[in-house]
Each structure stands twice: as C-alpha cells, then as structure tokens.
Amino acid sequence: GIQVEQSPPDLILQEGANSTLRCNFSDSVNNLQWFHQNPWGQLINLFYIPSGTKQNGRLSATTVATERYSLLYISSSQTTDSGVYFCAVPARGGSYIPTFGRGTSLIVHP
C-alpha cells in the first residue's frame, strides 16, 4: 500500500507564528485530504487537495502530485489551531479509501 510520512511529528509555536507541515507519500495519488483533530478529539476536514493550491482563511495547502508531497501552511497561528494535523491519501493505487499518516502534533502557546 501507499506509505504516508508526516513531518515534523511535533511542533510548538508561540501565538502569531507561521508554520509549515509536510506530508510525503510513496506513490501517485488522485486524492489527498488534510484533517485537524482538536484537543477534544473531533476530526475536521480542512482540505481536499489532490493537486494545486487552496486557501481557507489563515490556512492554505499545496500538493505537488508529481513530486509526491503536500504542504499545509498555518499563518498567524492561534491557540485554537492546537491539535493534531493528519494527511490522508488512498490506501493503494486506484482506490480513494483514505489511509492516514501519523500526524503532526501542534501546540500553540498564548
């Protein structure tokens, strides 16, 4: 199956700082999603981004499918951004059933 690696595993920021989270995957994909799991455990879909760039407020994501990576940018971080960020890609070629990386744990201090 397709392997997903996320980096860094842990990140601590001061409020207002910017950050970049990375997701590498081992094979071509036709589907990539970013999720945020908040400290209460809720998993929220942030982006569906198989290629290109999307922006939503202070968050943006870019996927370069030919080079097998995706980046999630968080600008002017806030304490509410704390939690774990996951990227998910299809478990295997031709499928779209998501398999998840181990996530990046983000803590934003006030």
Partner 1 sequence: DAGVIQSPRHEVTEMGQEVTLRCKPISGHDYLFWYRQTMMRGLELLIYFNNNVPIDDSGMPEDRFSAKMPNASFSTLKIQPSEPRDSAVYFCASSRQDSGNTIYFGEGSWLTVV
As given in the structure block, the two tokens for residue 97 are 């059933």
Query: Residue 13 or 49: which CB sits closer to partner 1?
Result: 49
CA quadruple 7, 22, 41, 55: dihedral, nearest 10: 160
Min dist. Cβ of residue 10 to partner 1 (A): 14
Q: Is 48 in the site for partner 1 (CB under 8 A)?
A: yes
Q: Is 7 in the site for partner 1 (CB under 8 A)?
A: no
Among 21, 83, 86, 89, binds partner 1 (CB under 8 A): 86
With CB under 8 A as the contact rule, which of the stretches 8-16, 29-37, 63-71, 74-82 interacts with partner 1? 29-37
Q: Is 12 in the site for partner 1 (CB under 8 A)?
A: no
Q: Name, in order, each residue with C-beta under 8 angstroms of 29's C-beta and a sequence gap of 6 or more.
A: 2, 50, 65, 68, 89, 90
Alpha-carbon distance values, 47 to 12, 13, 15, 54, 109 (Å): 22, 22, 23, 8, 25
Min dist. Cβ of residue 35 to partner 1 (A): 8
